[in-house]
Structure 1
Amino acid sequence: MPYVPPTHTVERSLRATTGARIIAGVDEVGRGAWAGPVTVCAAVTGLRRPPEGLTDSKLLTPKRREELAVLLEKWVTAHSLGHASHEEIDEHGMTAALRLAAERALNALPVRPDAVILDGKHDYLGAPWRVRTVIKGDQSCVAVAAASVIAKVRRDKMMAELGADHADFCFAANAGYPSPVHKAALQERGPTPYHRLTWAYLDALPQWRHLRKPRLWAEQTVPEIEGQLGFDF
C-alpha cells in the first residue's frame, strides 16, 4: 500500500465549523497490553507541514518511530502525556482509565484546546471537551499521528524501565503486550507487580487464577479487546 501522508483536513474543518483555533490530536497506547499503564498523548501542531514519513506509530519500525519522536517533540507546538496505572485500570475499567489518562494529558498542556480530535470511533473523553472522533485518525490527521508516535515511544521506554527487574517477561521488547516470551514467563512465574489483574488472561493460568481480581466497575463502553481474551498454551 503506498504511503499516504496525514493532513490537516479535520483541523481545518473544525476551524471553519466551530471557530476552534487550538486543536489537540489525542491518541492512546497500551489499551491491549496485559501489563503497565495506558498512556495518552495530546499534541497541538497548528497547520504546519509535518516531518516526512509521519503516520500511525504501528506502521513504523521501532528505529523510525524513535527518530520521528525526537523530531516531533521539537516540531509540535505543544504536547503532553497522561497515564492511568494498571491499578487504576483494575479499579475503574479501561473506559474510565482512558478518560483519566486523556484528561491528565490535556490538562497538562500549556494551552487549553478549543477542540480535540480523538482517534477511533468511541468518545471516551466526553464533556466538557469538544470532541471529534476520527476512525484511523492516527493515519489521516497530522496532530493525532504525532500524538500516536510520541505516546508509543514514551510508553515503550517506560515499560523497558519497569521490566528491568523482570527480565524473563521481555517488557523492553513487547511493552507488556502478549507475546510468546511474555506468555511463557506468565505461566512459569505468574504476574509481575505491573500486571492488570482483572483481565481474563489469568483464567488460562490455573496455578495463578486465584490472583484474578473481580471487576468492580460497570460494563465497558469501549469494546472488549484482544488483550482481555486470554490465550491457549
Structure 2
Amino acid sequence: MPYEPPTHSVERSLRATTGAKIIAGVDEVGRGAWAGPVTVCAAVTGLRRAPEGLTDSKLITPKRRTALAAELEKWVTAHALGHASPEEIDELGMTAALRLAAVRALDALPLRPDAVILDGKHDYLGGPWQVRTVIKGDQSCIAVAAASVIAKVRRDEMMARLETEAEECLAYGFAANAGYPSPVHKAALAELGPTAYHRLSWAYLDALPRWRHLKKVRISAEAAALESGGQLGFDF
C-alpha cells in the first residue's frame, strides 16, 4: 500500500515555536502483549534525510525491518532503549509502566532532549520534558518512525531469545509472536499456565479456570486509575 514518507515537519515546528534544538522521537512496543516487557525507544535524528523506506515498523516486512534497524542505529544521532518488566506492569499499570520505560530510555541518551515527540494522542510522559503528541507519528515523523523500527526489532529479538534460552518458554512461540496472542501462545497457556515472563494482571487469565488463581490485582489505586479503558481486555 502506498504511503507518504515521514518528514521533519514536527521537529521544524518545535524548533521554530519553542527554540528546542535537541528533539527526541519516542515510540513503544509491547503494550498489548501478554508476556515480556513494554519497550520504549528514544531516537534523536537531527534534520538529516532519512534512510530509504523508513516508516511505521508495522508497515515493513520483518526481514526489511531487521536490516533497517541496524542501518538506523548507525544513522541516528543518538538512541536508547528503556524497558518496564512484566512485574512492573502488574504493579503500576500500563500507563505508569510506559512512562517508566520512556524515562529510562530518555535518561540513557547521551544528549538530553529539549523536547520529545510522542507517538499517539496521549501524553503518558509529562514533565520535565516538553512533549508534543502526534497521532500516527510513527508514519509521519522521521524521529518517531526510527524509534518505532528500533524498538520493534530489539524487543522481538529479546522475546526470541527467551524461547531458546529459558526452558520454561519453549512451548509459547515467543520467537514468532513476541509475547502477543497467537494460537500457539494460547494453547501453551491453557496447558502450562503463565511463566515468570507473563503479565499476571492481564485479563487473559480470566479465561483460564485452571490458572485464574494466579491473577494479580494491583494494590495501587492511583496506578489503577491511570489505566486507560480496554488495555487489559485481551480475552480469548
Same topology, TM > 0.5 = yes
Distance in 2 (CA, whole Å) between partners of 1:97 and 1:188 is: 29
Residue 229 of structure 2 corresponds to residue 224 of structure 1: yes
Deviations 1:85-121 (A, max 9, x none): 0000011111111011000000100010000000000
> 1:163 Cα deviation (Å)?
2.3
Name the amino acid aligned to 1:90.
D
Residue 26 of structure 2 corresponds to residue 26 of structure 1: yes
Distance in 2 (CA, whole Å) between partners of 1:3 and 1:57 is: 13
Retained in 2: the 8 A contact 1:202–1:230?
no
Retained in 2: the 8 A contact 1:95–1:220?
no
RMSD of aligned C-alpha atoms?
1.1
Deviates more, 1:32-41 or 1:210-219: 210-219
Q: Which of these residues, 184, 189, 192, is aligned with residue 189 of structure 1?
A: 192
Distance in 2 (CA, whole Å) between partners of 1:99 and 1:59 is: 25
Retained in 1: the 8 A contact 2:93–2:226?
no
Q: Which of these residues, 207, 211, 228, is aligned with residue 210 of structure 2?
A: 207
Distance in 2 (CA, whole Å) between partners of 1:31 and 1:181 is: 20
Distance in 2 (CA, whole Å) between partners of 1:117 and 1:19 is: 14
Query: For 2:156, what is the secondary structure of its paired residue?
Result: helix
Name the amino acid aligned to 1:170.
G
Give the match for residue 143 of structure 1.
Answer: 143
Distance in 2 (CA, whole Å) between partners of 1:222 and 1:204 is: 21
The 1:122–1:181 alpha-carbon spacing in structure 2 relative to 1, beyond 3 Å, is: same
Distance in 2 (CA, whole Å) between partners of 1:163 and 1:224 is: 31
Aligned residues: 231
Distance in 2 (CA, whole Å) between partners of 1:11 and 1:34 is: 34
Give the match for residue 86 of structure 2.
Answer: 86
Residue 174 of structure 2 corresponds to residue 178 of structure 1: no
Distance in 1 (CA, whole Å) between partners of 2:229 and 2:152 is: 21
Of all paired residues, the percent bearing the same amino acid is 78
> 1:231 Cα deviation (Å)?
2.6
Query: Could you tell me the TM-score, scaled by structure 1's length?
Result: 0.96
Residue 54 of structure 2 corresponds to residue 54 of structure 1: yes
Deviations 1:24-71 (A, max 9, x none): 000000000000100000000000000000000011111011010010
Query: For 1:90, what is the secondary structure of its paired residue?
Result: helix
Give the match for residue 39 of structure 1.
Answer: 39
> 1:3 Cα deviation (Å)?
2.1
The 1:98–1:55 alpha-carbon spacing in structure 2 relative to 1, beyond 3 Å, is: same
> 1:222 Cα deviation (Å)?
5.2
Give the match for residue 15 of structure 1.
Answer: 15
Retained in 2: the 8 A contact 1:29–1:40?
yes
- Tell me, which stretches of 5 or more residues in structure 2 are unaligned? none
Query: For 2:52, what is the secondary structure of its paired residue?
Result: coil
Retained in 2: the 8 A contact 1:25–1:143?
yes
- Tell me, which stretches of 5 or more residues in structure 1 are unaligned? none
> 1:225 Cα deviation (Å)?
4.3
Query: Could you tell me the TM-score, scaled by structure 2's length?
Result: 0.95
